[in-house]
Structure 1
């Protein structure tokens, strides 16, 4: 069992529950194992809660599961399922009648019986004497699930506690599957989310960000301060009210803003330049005032993103023409609105991004308005290798299935990182997009006989993107 960056997982669990075991194949009769680390407040202080479920069945034999077994995934089954969703009474009676017969046969064959190892067991305790961790063990009434729970004071928790809890999970699996059932197997306990659903801008998380370890760590700190106002109040501390991210185009500033909102659990409100700047006299000033008037009324955590901030307030204080005067007026109102925003509505955090920080007046982004300023640089070679790794893993998780392999076994991340010198994360995404498109076209022309993406094809795509135009 390999634990990947346990300290980061424990830190993240202070903010949101963290799932740590995914896509693992377990020895029969164990079908799946779920492990979650979360945070809770107890009478004697905050704790980390370790919770795991070891299941010997996918799900109970419910009416929904019976319908799935009867309908299947063929066109007729999908059509019948759609009619059931629409409330067709005739279809529902027919399918449920067949399902009742299937359930009766299922029970007659004894396939609904709970696993004997887990049935009729009383609650008990498992312990790891090395770190002093104790886990309570309970058994589901159906006998198909074993649940383990342990708590450790937040100030005392360490990666050793997580490792010990994982050891207790493996001990439970061995009790169900036999003493040698795990021999030769390897499992990874990791925070990385490898979803079957392709990641989008809306669903991106800090876990998915590659090559920006220091930036991600600082954003996690901001998220923790936002999510724990009671701790801020106890120490008279004030979390950051504003965050400025600056750096070259394509380095992921907007993506990081969205990921921060998701880490906080906040709504995401992006303010674009056309929403503020108006050709009519006084219109821009009215727009910026209205944006902040709305912000003071938000009743749920909200991240406000001013993307391409320099285009809204660039060269503040410079120029005497009408356009410059309008920008100066907008910048002046922006300063006033930011002065007391956090006091009037602690649910709001403001993020501004720019490719040209020198175009933004220093008084706009001084401490007190924008307390944190983060440089988002172009990735270095190790960072590019990490970006390639995470993007490729995400594609594999989202698209590979039995009988279809997306990437060949010869992929060399270090060679890709070296060849892609000067590229940003956006460039690397484009490298993969081009290769995917080429493969899809080959697949369409050959009737599904395209080979997996090879190292040479990826390198060729890198060279093509870097070639001067």
Structure 2
């Protein structure tokens, strides 16, 4: 039995405040929320002063579905300070243009000036705290109400609605999204949403082809347990105030290990994007040096820079075993250099999080047995995650997510990339023993064959189940012939 619609989600499009909203697979979102909270609306562009909107549906409580929106905005004083900085000609005009163009560095600089000035005003007693009374938003037609509460400085609004589990439906989710956009409009002004486009989706697939840099945890298929653990790490990183209130310390280091091609590096990038952190990848040549003392200097410099990062940063030590393989008592120069690097690494990791809570360290390896246990003990690497080869169901999920991403990125009116006879479970069985990297290669080969067929002037219909099964067989049997 095929699953012809698995890759083309049901999309409901509506408008609010001049913005177009695509609500994708709403029924699936509500069903999935019964097992785990589902996050929506990430990676969206919001009008000033709104910086971020997190929307979550949580049905794990049993009796209710809870809809929560967290709207993060510049505090009133910081907003005024930003306007003051940008109002200085001609520099202010230049900075404004750079911010409008999406220059993150300039945005951080300007907002940093505003934040510092606002803090100074508060210390001098020149600024009264913002006082916002709790409020209520409602959609009478849908029968849903949302309570609205604010932080003391007025920079974060929290909307919450509760609907009995046996009554909740797509109408409630659509109405809550509308109430969230209404709250955004109240902060940013009438007409501020005009011309904008928002995708409310469990997976938030991009309209452009996903790159290694833009991968998110939503795009990861077949590793539900691993993704769930990474989400927990991201939540602990994004909410330092909750960690501080309870005296809790989020993980400082994360070790991911498993066979080649299982997606460890991709997961690291996805975690960085989930956190909203910069990504810094360290490879062997950046550390190991043929000159005496060079390797030790390099590792010290890497951690010296890490202690100076002022924005959230994920540092990835890829192929960790090749960087700090613990050679024990080996007497040759190479072993001594590795021993020295490993020793310095241990020292630097001992207090990194205390000196700079903006940094999280991730190490990946295909050979965990080559890494000395003292290097990766708790306190240095608090979380250790095995990333296995996918099983039959996981492979089917990987096919589903990869194909769905390709459809989202490439299909247009009049062009269908994939046929309706695709059957992910059958593909998952056929690809026994393959990794996510292998499945990606299967798709690459089929895409290339279709593109070459069209380029040569021949008819190139949509990619079919047989096309994919043939590519799987060819990959198993060795290099495919050039199309």
2:250 corresponds to 1:250? no
CA contact (8 A) 2:146 2:160 kept: no
Deviation at 1:3, TM superposition (A): 3.4
Q: For residue 392 of structure 1, what is the aligned residue in structure 2? A: 403
2:291 corresponds to 1:280? yes
Q: For residue 475 of structure 2, what is the aligned residue in structure 1? A: 465
Tell me the distance in 1 between the aligned counterparts of 2:349 and 2:158: 44
Tell me the distance in 1 between the aligned counterparts of 2:238 and 2:470: 45
1:16-415 equivalence runs, <5 A: 17=42, 37-38=54-55, 48-49=68-69, 125-127=138-140, 133-134=145-146, 151-152=159-160, 165-166=172-173, 168=175, 190-415=201-426
Rate the CA distance shift 1:428–1:2 in 2: closer, same or farther, 3 A: same
Rate the CA distance shift 1:37–1:414 in 2: closer, same or farther, 3 A: same
Rate the CA distance shift 1:126–1:304 in 2: closer, same or farther, 3 A: same
Query: Gapped runs of 5+ residues in structure 2?
Result: 1-25, 45-52, 57-66, 72-135, 149-156, 180-198
Matched position secondary structure for 1:370: coil
Deviations 1:134-162 (A, max 9, x none): 489xxxxxxxxxxxx98218xx7997778
Q: For residue 6 of structure 1, what is the aligned residue in structure 2? A: 33
Tell me the distance in 2 between the aligned counterparts of 1:376 and 1:439: 33
Rate the CA distance shift 1:150–1:283 in 2: closer, same or farther, 3 A: closer
Tell me the distance in 2 between the aligned counterparts of 1:158 and 1:221: 26
Tell me the distance in 2 between the aligned counterparts of 1:465 and 1:300: 43
Rate the CA distance shift 1:367–1:50 in 2: closer, same or farther, 3 A: closer
Matched position secondary structure for 1:305: strand
Deviation at 1:246, TM superposition (A): 0.1
The total of aligned residue pairs comes to 343
Query: Gapped runs of 5+ residues in structure 1?
Result: 20-35, 40-46, 52-122, 137-148, 173-187
Tell me the distance in 2 between the aligned counterparts of 1:192 and 1:453: 23
CA contact (8 A) 1:18 1:191 kept: no
CA contact (8 A) 2:407 2:417 kept: yes
1:397-436 equivalence runs, <5 A: 397-436=408-447
Rate the CA distance shift 1:372–1:417 in 2: closer, same or farther, 3 A: same
- Structure number with bigger Rg: 1
Rate the CA distance shift 1:129–1:294 in 2: closer, same or farther, 3 A: same
Deviations 1:138-196 (A, max 9, x none): xxxxxxxxxxx98218xx79977785632637999xxxxxxxxxxxxxxx963112322
Tell me the distance in 1 between the aligned counterparts of 2:226 and 2:322: 24
Per the normalisation by structure 2, the TM-score is 0.65
Per the normalisation by structure 1, the TM-score is 0.67
Instruction: Give me the CA root mean square deviation.
Output: 3.1
Tell me the distance in 2 between the aligned counterparts of 1:444 and 1:252: 32
Deviations 1:196-254 (A, max 9, x none): 20000000000000000000000000000001111111111100000000000000000
Tell me the distance in 1 between the aligned counterparts of 2:277 and 2:35: 21
Displacement over 6 Å in runs of 4+: 156-162, 169-172
